């Protein structure tokens, strides 16, 4: 039982870390898109 619990915790930890990494990446992408949009709108 302890081994399976440790395995589940390890797997879950990896998935949570992946979600946080994706979130950070998405935030950076959104910021870049927003900056580009602002520059395009400023040219009008």
**For position 38, what pLDDT does the model report?**
97
Rounded CA separation 4/12 (Å): 12
Give the pLDDT confidence of 1-44 residue by residue, as tens digits: 788 888 888 899 999 999 999 999 999 999 999 999 999 999 98
Q: 16-40: buried (b, 16+ CB within 10 Å) or exposed (e) per residue?
A: eeeeeeeeeeeeeeeeeeeeeeeee
Model pTM score: 0.71
List the chain domain ranges.
Answer: 1-44
């Amino acid at each position: 039982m302890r081994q399976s619990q440790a395995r589940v915790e390890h797997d879950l930890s990896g998935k949570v870390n992946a979600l946080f990494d994706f979130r950070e990446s998405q935030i950076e992408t959104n910021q870049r898109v927003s900056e580009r949009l602002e520059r395009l709108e400023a040219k009008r």
